[in-house]
Amino acid sequence: MLFVSPAFEARVTKDSLVFSAAHFITLGGGVCERLHGHNWRVDVVIAGDLDENHYVFDFLAIRDAAERIVQELDHHMLLPDRHPDIRVQTDDQASEVTVRFHDRRWVFPQDDCRILPVANTTAERLAEWIAGRLIDALELTGHPQVAELKVGVEENFGQWAWYRRRPAADARSSETKRG
């Protein structure tokens, strides 16, 4: 089956789609970066056919949904909860989060952390997580005009990671599993 890319895209990249957050990532061989932060930037592209209003998707809806997600991350410590070697434990009584990687240990105030359902807090995995949240927020699964959602996350000036997803394919896959 030949997939032909849609001819139209709506792209939103704004100064309001920037967040400052700390993280660390692990590399092969048991290497763990030092704790550090970035001023991350998010870019959202929705590709598809034009609707009855002659646009792919409402720019304001994309912007507003992306801003809400970005604000959840802003000024927080980003932690993965699906990493095989990083243990994240929340102590509600002490309002703390303890993180362990091999012999290293960090303790953070619980309110300063965002524990994300990702394997590593790389720009790639953050782009994937943000894309999933946008698909839910904008109700893109099964949307008749939307062929593809693409989310970019810039970790440092000129260093982007991108994640692409076809929400219509997600809907077809869900229907196949149900039937």
Residue 167, domain CATH: 3.30.479.10
DSSP assignments along 10-33, one per residue: EEE--TTSEEEEEE--EEGGGEEP
Examine the pLDDT at 175 and tell me if it is beyond 60: no
Residue 92, pLDDT score:
85
The answer to whether residue 123 is domain-embedded is: yes
Mean pLDDT of the chain: 91
Instruction: Give the domain extent around 46.
Output: 8-77+119-178
Total structural domains within the chain: 1
The answer to whether residue 98 is domain-embedded is: no
pLDDT tens for 12-23 read: 999 999 999 999
Residue 172, pLDDT score:
53
Q: Quote the pTM value.
A: 0.90
The answer to whether residue 131 is domain-embedded is: yes
The answer to whether residue 169 is domain-embedded is: yes
Examine the pLDDT at 103 and tell me if it is beyond 50: yes
Q: How many helices (H) and strands (E) does the chain have?
A: 3, 12
